[in-house]
């Protein structure tokens, strides 16, 4: 005898399956249609008008001419009165801190927990300003934890590529004991603290940063402004020492950014193989030609120079040694950037956020344009160029099919008035709308 399955349970199972299938299909079928009045895609030298971006999940799946609404269940975002562009990239920030006249004291009073809470606030502020990716070039190491928290969705912030602790020579820009008594610290600074001399110590310092989770290595080949050393421009590593850093970093798949103000330190860094020169204040014509020859990027951070120069004019804001250096650097950054741009050195956008107030990164666009860079090229420096420098062009940096849905919009047209870059009214990172 042939047995037949009972009809009622089968029908219930079938209906349940159909119901679940419908729910699942609807969930996965939902797309976001973004109608753009104007579009700067990061690739073309001209803006487009009346374009629809189609986002599925965390990526851009299509770009259509005209306004398209999608189907039932799809999300529609109306930006017809906005200028839409790729999420911005700042290649030089410090999310752990924000400089003030109390900064020196805070180095001895803030705990890692204090730093972490502050960093979470600065990260969100940066994202809301339209920067969906940043490269954090040095802090206490809390920046690595912040990157993980953002990745897990615990904290709202930009995608973070971080250097962990930056590396310098004894007495260099990242040697926190500079200017203090020898017994002011309970141990001698070494590779564990990002202070290294000679190839062996530098190799160890790079390996320690990789071990701790750094995505990029930052070194300083000259002195700095916001430290208590007397000289911000003197060279502090040999070419061979820099090569040791670059070769070790390359073994781990990491790129190298180099803080450098003085011409000789810049020259050595380029010959040593670094990927970018940060600041480049006193870069000369020889340095510029070398940068073009080796494909080295300049990350100018004009706003940082302007900010510290302005602060130095406030009596008592800085110790005298810092105030002197701040004024020297601030007056030169505009001039050097203008010369480097005219010489066709590759430029990537970076601001040194944390030296000035987080969230005002947009001011760098204004300074770049004032120095002679056209608005479209300034925007490209913070999108396609920045993505190229960071090695993430396959993921972000322009609006094209298959890239992360990192999309922002501003009120007005920055090609007519670059100051509109401050008016960010829409922020999407990897398909999620934050603003």
Say what the pLDDT of residue 105 is: 75
pLDDT digits (tens, 9 = 90+) for 127-176: 999 999 999 999 988 999 999 999 999 999 999 999 999 999 987 777 66
- Which residues are bridge partners to 426 per DSSP? 409
Q: What is the DSSP letter of 353?
A: B
Report residue 412 as tokens: 């007005």
Q: Kindly tell me if the per-residue pLDDT of 195 is higher than 60.
A: yes
Say what the pLDDT of residue 175 is: 65
151-160, 192-201, 364-373, 378-387: least confident range: 192-201
Contact (Cβ atoms closer than 8 angstroms) between residue 96 and residue 115: yes
Contact (Cβ atoms closer than 8 angstroms) between residue 327 and residue 309: yes
pLDDT digits (tens, 9 = 90+) for 215-249: 999 999 998 887 767 777 789 999 999 999 999 99
Question: How many CA atoms within 13 Å lie on the side-chain side of 390?
Answer: 33
- 279 φ/ψ sector (left φ>0, alpha ψ -120 to 50, else beta): left
**Average predicted confidence (pLDDT) for the chain:** 90
Q: Which residues contact 433 (CB under 8 A, 6 or more apart)?
A: 77, 426, 427
91 phi and psi angles, rounded to 5 deg: -85, 5
Report residue 373 as tokens: 């860079």
Q: Kindly tell me if the per-residue pLDDT of 54 is higher than 70.
A: yes
Question: How many CA atoms within 13 Å lie on the side-chain side of 231?
Answer: 10
Residue 162: exposure state from Cβ atoms within 10 A (0-12, 13-18, ≥19): buried
Say what the pLDDT of residue 321 is: 85
Q: Which residues contact 199 (CB under 8 A, 6 or more apart)?
A: 240, 241, 244
| Positions of CATH 2.30.40.10 in the chain | 29-86+402-433
Whole-model pTM: value is 0.90
- Taken in order 47, 54, 395, 124, the sign of the CA dihedral is positive
Query: Which helix (H) or strand (E) is 91 found in, with range?
Result: strand 88-93
CATH class of 29-86+402-433: mainly beta
CA of residue 369 relative to chain centroid, distance: 20
Distance CA 134, CA 142 (A): 15
Place of tokens 């009809």: 7
Distance CA 397, CA 406 (A): 8
pLDDT digits (tens, 9 = 90+) for 79-126: 999 999 999 999 999 999 988 777 777 777 888 999 999 999 999 999
Segment 261-267 mean pLDDT = 96
| Positions of CATH 3.20.20.140 in the chain | 88-390
Give the residue among 92, 89, 90 at the shortest CA–CA distance from 352.
92
Q: Describe the strand order of the beta sheet including 407-411 as a list of residue ranges.
A: 59-65, 48-56, 32-39, 75-86, 407-411, 424-429, 432-433
Contact (Cβ atoms closer than 8 angstroms) between residue 411 and residue 402: no
Give the residue among 36, 48, 83, 40 at the shortest CA–CA distance from 411.
83
∠ CA 122-413-305 to the nearest 5 degrees? Answer: 45
Segment 257-284 mean pLDDT = 97
241 phi and psi angles, rounded to 5 deg: -65, -45
| Domain boundaries 88-390, corresponding CATH code | 3.20.20.140
Contact (Cβ atoms closer than 8 angstroms) between residue 39 and residue 54: no
């Amino acid at each position: 005898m042939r047995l037949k399955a009972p009809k009622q349970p089968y029908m219930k199972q079938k209906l349940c399956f159909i119901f679940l299938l419908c729910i699942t299909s609807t969930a996965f079928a939902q797309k976001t249609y973004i109608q753009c009045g104007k579009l700067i895609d990061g690739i073309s030298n001209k803006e487009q008008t009346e374009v629809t971006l189609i986002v599925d999940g965390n990526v851009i799946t299509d770009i259509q001419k005209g306004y398209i609404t999608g189907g039932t269940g799809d999300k529609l975002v109306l930006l017809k009165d906005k200028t839409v562009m790729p999420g911005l990239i700042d290649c030089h920030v410090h999310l752990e801190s924000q400089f003030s006249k109390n900064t020196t004291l805070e180095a001895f009073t803030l705990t890692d927990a204090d730093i972490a809470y502050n960093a979470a606030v600065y990260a969100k502020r940066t994202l809301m300003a339209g920067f969906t990716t940043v490269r954090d070039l040095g802090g206490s190491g809390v920046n690595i934890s912040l990157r993980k928290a953002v990745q897990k969705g615990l904290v709202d912030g930009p995608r973070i590529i971080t250097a962990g602790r930056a590396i310098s020579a004894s007495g260099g820009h990242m040697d926190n004991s500079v200017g203090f008594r020898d017994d002011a610290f309970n141990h001698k600074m070494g590779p564990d603290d990002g202070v290294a001399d000679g190839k062996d110590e530098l190799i160890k310092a790079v390996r320690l940063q990789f071990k701790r989770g750094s995505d990029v290595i930052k070194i300083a080949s000259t002195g700095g402004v916001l430290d208590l050393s007397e000289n911000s421009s003197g060279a502090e590593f040999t070419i061979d020492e820099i090569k040791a850093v670059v070769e070790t970093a390359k073994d781990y798949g990491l790129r190298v950014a180099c803080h450098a103000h003085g011409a000789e330190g810049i020259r050595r860094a380029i010959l040593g193989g670094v990927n970018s020169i940060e600041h480049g204040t006193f870069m000369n014509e020889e340095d510029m030609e070398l940068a073009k020859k080796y494909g080295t990027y300049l990350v100018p951070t004009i706003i940082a120079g302007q900010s510290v120069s302005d602060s130095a004019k406030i009596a008592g804001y800085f110790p005298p040694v810092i105030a002197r250096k701040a004024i020297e650097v601030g007056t030169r950054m505009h001039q050097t950037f203008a010369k480097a741009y005219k010489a066709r050195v590759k430029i990537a956008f970076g601001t040194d956020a944390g030296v000035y107030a987080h969230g005002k990164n947009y001011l760098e666009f204004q300074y770049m344009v004032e120095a002679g860079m056209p608005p479209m090229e300034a925007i490209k420096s913070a999108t396609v160029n920045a993505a190229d420098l960071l090695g993430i062009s396959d993921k972000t940096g322009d609006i094209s099919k298959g890239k992360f849905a990192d999309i922002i919009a501003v009120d007005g047209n920055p090609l007519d008035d670059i100051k509109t870059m401050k008016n960010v009214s829409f922020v999407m990172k990897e398909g999620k709308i934050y603003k």
